Structure 1
Amino acid sequence: MAKNNVKYNQLNSFLKSVQKNDIPGLILIFGESYLLKHAFKTISSFLLGNDNNKQFALDTLEGGSVSMGDIIEQVSTFSFLVSKKIVAVKNAPLFQTQQGSQEISFSQSDFDHLIDFIEKGIPPNHSLIFTTNLIDKRKKIYKAIANKGLIIDCSVATGARKADLDEQRAVLQSLAGKILSNSKKKIDNQAFHALVDLTGFNLHLFSQNIEKLIAYCGKNELISIADVKTVIVRDKKDPIFNLTNAFMAKDVKNALFYLNSLFTEGFHPLQILKSFENQIRKLILVKCFTEQFYQNNTHISLKRISFNLFKQSVLPKIIDHDEQTKTDSQGQDEYLSKKSSKKKINKSNDLLLAPNPKNAYPVFQIFQKSENFSLNELSQSLIFLSDLDYRLKSSSFDAKTVIENFIINTCSKGGFVYAEKNKNRRHYF
């Protein structure tokens, strides 16, 4: 029997290496919706082959609107028209903890019924395919499917780490290559990067834009950046960390660009304010550490240090600092628990400089960017944001303009001065 867990980009080669009878009757496809859709089309076409009655062999059910009993009954029922049968349950609520008020969610009894059905075996030439965006490998139902069925993994990293962004870009490059090869066209590097910047990691939108460019460039074999700028309208939804990253780099132009994008997408000013607050609090913790670090390490510049040297010379001291922070926090919790009838346990990692030291690169980045600010600038910024929080909750004004001015003033060469000038109007005192 072939392996029972296949990545989406290995599915075609996997199917070439097996016979139809090698494919289990139970299949779970999960992950990114565009890749999931194409994986479903590939596996169902493989199972049904050249059957002239394909339309009668595929029953599609919508998860959340069908009971477990109906699903099992459908899979167990034989057809008079076809010998092969696929029952597909799209958006199956196998792992979600909450469902909409009008949706059907599965109980533990439903899962037990399904597991029992799986153990007994799905009827020959019948297939049950579940599709879902998210999974939980800890759940019993996942383990049952992994043990008896085939799992097709269509997930793509969605984070902002370099490795995540590289994976996303590789998926987009592969998708562009497949679509362009069918039309015997190519796209130059500048045009590709511009297209990614305009659309973000949205495979449905990205594929539609590639098709638009193919139609627009006509007989030209190469899609250029000029074609992209002419045809494609920016439709990328920027995550809020793009704004805070530009702010930490003191990149005023991009910070204002991302701020405008977030307001256009409907972000509330308080959401943006809280993101700035969280980032500045983190930077203050870093600056307090680095001021002590520089006292004993005058020969090291965190602004120009390499990643490898950072891991060797700085990261061990950060880890020691975090261990001491944990010890102090635990001692405080124990003291408070003795003074109160309710035991207080602090499980927050907010005070740690490297909550996950195995992933050192984000720690390296924030330490480098902290060098763009003085501790006084950060303190002034935090006081301003506290005042702004009060104003947003108590009055009406043009919040976007105020935040724009904050970005410009904080990222200017002269630094940000606020507290002394506004000491008589600071509401949080």
Structure 2
Amino acid sequence: MPEINYNALSKFLASEPLPGFFLAYGEAFLTRKAFDKIIAALVPEERRELSYELLEGVDASLANVKERLATYSFEPLLVLGLKNAPLFSAPTAPKVAGFSKQEIDTFQKFIKKPFLEGHFLVVTTDTADKRRALFKEIKAVGLVIDCSVPKGSRQADKTQQSAILRQIMEGTLNATGKGIDGDAFAMLVDRTGFDPSTLSDNLEKLVSFIGERVSITVQDVQKVVKRTRKDAIFELTNAVCDRNAGTALFYLKSLLNAGFHPLQIVMALSNQLRKLVLVKFFIERSRQRGIPCWQPNSPYNRFKQHTMPMIEQADAEITATAENWDRTLAGHAAPTPAGKSGKPKTNKNLTDLLIAPNKNNTYPVYHTFLKTDNFSLAELKQAITRLSEVDMKMKRSANDPEIVLDNLILWLCTKGEKNA
């Protein structure tokens, strides 16, 4: 059977015949929706009391699943549901975190044979390891539904996340005949982040709140929806690099409220500003040599064609120099131990010295160059010194960490050279 995306499930369920095994994996809200769609397609509402069984708690064992599927039922139709099954837990995980290897092996052998006629199994799980023999066997005998959504911050990831949230919004509101203003939806997403379950719940609350009105407004969202979004720390570092004090302070408070340790925040800022120092030094050095590699606000295409070749050359020179130093210091000792791939392990310290460790992903490097336009090299050097001082201050004094970080953010976002 093919592996399909969640969006293709409804069309597949309209076809005949349907397989005996369904596995949906990925984002919790989408797997739950996929599960409900499959159950609705297999078992009419009026027959579920006798023909549908959801296994939970002590009943949710693979031995019980196998026993029920291998036993003839008084009803011609039997559908078993198994939610959040830990089918792909790590082999070293404790027993409570998943099924044993013996259980998995026995189950894998069992599903190779067709189920009894009219017997179906619908399973959901948060992750699926496609390398495992069990996954390959399930895909061979049943249907696998990919409900995963990228959680990254790349533009492609954000676009896919936004599309999923918009689908949920349309599905929820179309069923009620209601609508939502564009600005209101943007505010709703900003307050919930990528959390499909919370978004759906909030939309239902808003529908109830507006009563007879046909459209949800910004004012409705402000009154009904609390901010539950868990902000990523890169939101703070980006705001600091943009020297946007108001936005940076907002995300700082959000992160502290979410339980981030103040020293985690200092470390994240230090790592980001060190990258800017590395890039800014590279820009200044190329300018001094009479071959400028970067002009402020250069377009991405020019960066790829003009700047990236110079970066690759500089990174290659640094790599060669570091390797020579290693050989000299080691006295031509044995080479660096190989990793699982057979290649020498990457030197973490060396990676930190490279501008573009992954040359196949240049867009983040381009954005780092854009952010260096907001700082002079002298300002960045001062910022690194100030961060080091703040780090020591937090470890040695009883000052309120939030006040210390507030002052740090304001200092970093103030343009011009300053007294540290």
Q: TM-score, normalised by structure 1?
A: 0.88
The structure-2 alpha-carbon separation of the partners of 1:85 and 1:410, relative to structure 1 and needing over 3 Å to count, comes to same
Structure 1 residues 136 and 289: alpha-carbon distance in aligned structure 2, compared to 1, 3 A threshold: farther
Counterparts in 2 of 1:396-407, with a 5 A limit?
A: 396-407=398-409
Question: How far did residue 33 of structure 1 move?
Answer: 0.7
Letter matched to residue 52 of structure 1: E
Instruction: Decide whether aligned partners of structure 1 residues 284 and 347 sit closer, same or farther in structure 2, where only a CA change above 3 A counts.
Output: same
Aligned pair in 2 of structure 1 residues 291, 24: CA closer, same or farther (>3 Å)?
same
Mapped to 1, the partners of 2:120 and 2:304 lie a distance apart of: 51
**Equivalent in the alignment of 1:422:** none
Q: What SS does structure 1 have at the residue aligned with 2:54? A: strand
Structure 2 counterparts to residues 27-426 of structure 1, below 5 A:
27-48=22-43, 50=44, 52-62=46-56, 66-80=60-74, 82-97=75-90, 103=96, 105-295=98-288, 301-338=294-331, 345-348=345-348, 349-418=351-420
How far residue 36 of structure 1 moved from its aligned partner, in angstroms, is: 0.8
Q: Following the alignment from structure 1 to structure 2, what is the Cα–Cα distance between the partners of residues 194 and 400?
A: 27
CA gap of 1:39–1:66, structure 2 versus 1, over 3 A, is closer
Give the letter aligned to residue 58 of structure 1.
Answer: Y
How many Å separate the matches in 1 of 2:273 and 2:45? Answer: 62
User: Could you report, residue by residue, the CA deviation over 1:367-394 in whole angstroms, capped at 9, with x for unpaired residues?
Assistant: 1002212222222222222233333334
SS in 1 for 2:251: helix
Give the direction of change, closer, same or farther, for the CA distance of 1:83–1:303 in structure 2 (3 Å limit).
farther
| 2-structure distance, mates of 1:159, 1:380 | 31
Q: Secondary structure at the match of 1:56?
A: helix
| Greater CA drift, 90-99 or 257-266 | 90-99
Unaligned runs of 5+ residues in structure 2 are 338-344
Among the aligned pairs, what percent are the same residue? 37
Identify which range, 320-329 or 371-380, moves more after superposition: 320-329
Q: Shift of residue 206 of structure 1?
A: 0.8
Structure 1 residues 336, 29: closer, same or farther in 2, change over 3 A?
farther
Corresponding residue for residue 341 of structure 2: none
What is the alpha-carbon distance in structure 2 between the residues aligned to residue 64 and residue 36 of structure 1?
A: 22
Distance 1:43 1:302, change over 3 A: farther
Give the SS at the match of 1:103.
helix
Q: Deviations over 1:330-356 (max 9, x none)?
A: 444444554778957544333332233
- SS of residue paired to 1:27: strand
Comparing 150-159 with 290-299, greater Cα deviation is found at 290-299
**Is the contact between residue 294 and residue 307 of structure 2 (CA under 8 Å) also seen in structure 1?**
no
Q: CA deviation at 1:51?
A: 6.4
Structure 2: how far apart are the matches of 1:141 and 1:95? 8
Quote how far apart the aligned CAs of 1:190 are: 1.1
Q: Does the residue aligned with 1:88 lie in a helix, a strand or coil?
A: strand
Q: Alignment partner of 2:112: what SS?
A: helix
In the alignment, which residue of structure 2 is the partner of 1:427? none
8 Å contact kept, 1:64–1:103: no
Cα distance change of structure 1 residues 106 and 191 upon mapping to structure 2, 3 Å threshold:
same
Structure 1: distance between partners of 2:127 and 2:321? 38
Query: Quick check: 1:5 aligned with 2:3?
Result: yes
Residue 113 of structure 1 and its aligned partner are, at CA, apart by 1.7
Deviations 1:110-136 (A, max 9, x none): 332222112223332222222111222
Worse-superposed segment, 83-92 or 203-212: 83-92
- The 8 Å contact of residues 63 and 92 in structure 1, kept in 2 or not, is answered as no
* Change over 3 Å in CA distance of 1:385–1:221 after alignment to 2: same
Structure 2 CA distance for partners of 1:350 and 1:136, relative to 1, 3 Å? farther
1:75-128 Cα shifts (integer Å, max 9, x gaps): 222322x22222222222222227875715333333322221122233322222
* Deviation, structure 1 residue 287: 1.5
> For residues 326 and 7 of structure 2, what CA distance do their matches in structure 1 show?
49
CA distance, structure 2, for counterparts of residue 163 and residue 42 of structure 1: 28
The Cα shift of 1:407 comes to 1.1
User: Which digits, 9 at most, give the CA deviation of each residue in 1:284-321, with x for residues without a partner?
Assistant: 22112222233456676543111111111112222233
Instruction: Tell me, yes or no, if the aligned pair for 1:329 and 1:346 is still in contact at 8 Å.
Output: no
How far did 1:405 drift? 0.9
The one-letter code matched in structure 1 to 2:7 is: N
Q: CA deviation at 1:42?
A: 0.3
CA distance in 1, matches of 2:140, 2:322: 44
Q: Taking structure 2 as the reference length, what is the TM-score of the superposition?
A: 0.90
Structure 1 counterpart of 2:145, one-letter code: I
- How far, CA to CA, are the matches of 1:64 and 1:103 in structure 2? 11
Task: State whether residues 60 and 87 of structure 1, in contact with CA within 8 Å, keep that contact through their aligned partners in structure 2.
Answer: yes
Give the unaligned 5+ runs of structure 1.
419-429
- 1:63·1:91 contact (CA, 8 Å) conserved in 2? no
| Cα root mean square deviation, aligned | 2.5
| Cα distance between partner residues in 2 of 1:95 and 1:416 | 54
Structure 1 residue 4: Cα displacement: 1.9
> How many matched pairs?
411
Q: Measured at CA, do residues 399 and 139 of structure 1 come closer, stay the same or move farther in structure 2, by a change above 3 Å?
A: same
Q: Do the aligned residues in 2 keep the contact of 1:325 with 1:352 (CA within 8 Å)?
A: yes
1:425 paired residue number: none
